[in-house]
Amino acid sequence: MASFSGYKLIGVNAYSANGEWAAKLAEWITNEENQKLRFRMRGQGPSNKNAAASDEVQSAPAIAALLEQSEFSCLQRIGGNFWDPVTAFAGEILAGNPSGKSLQEQLDKMVEGITAP
């Protein structure tokens, strides 16, 4: 048994029709002030180095616990396509398979959703 650690990744698609605006939004989301605000409102550890170095973040028990546990955890690399297909699959199984589809069909559909571009 092991614990997993993860992260959220916000990126700008190079093919976006509004790439300049997307880059501005990404800069705004990741600036020091907004990272501190997100920490205060949601308890999420900031990725901005200045925000992460603040006394408020450094003294947070939850952040300290995560940092200590990270030494023993395995990195969980899950892309944005993971949760919806897995949720649909699990819901179908937990409901007793009302669609009547074979387990292999359902697994194939889940994998197709996870690996979709």
Q: What is the CATH number of the domain that holds 25?
A: 3.40.190.10
Q: Verify that 66 and 108 share a domain, yes or no.
A: no
pLDDT of residue 3: 81
32 pLDDT exceeds 80? Answer: yes
70 and 87, same structural domain? no
Number of folded domains that form the chain: 2
Give the whole-angstrom CA distance, residue 55 versus residue 13: 34
Residue 110, both tokens? 């889940």
From 72, 77, 58, select the one nearest 1 (Cα to Cα).
72
When computed from its CA atoms, the radius of gyration of the chain, rounded to whole angstroms, is: 19
CB-CB contact of 32 with 104 (8 Å): no
What confidence score (pLDDT) does residue 2 get?
73
Residues 55 and 90 in one domain: no
pTM of the model: 0.57
Going by the DSSP 8-state scheme, the letter that residue 48 receives in this structure is: S
Whole-number average pLDDT of the chain: 90
Identity of the residue numbered 115: T
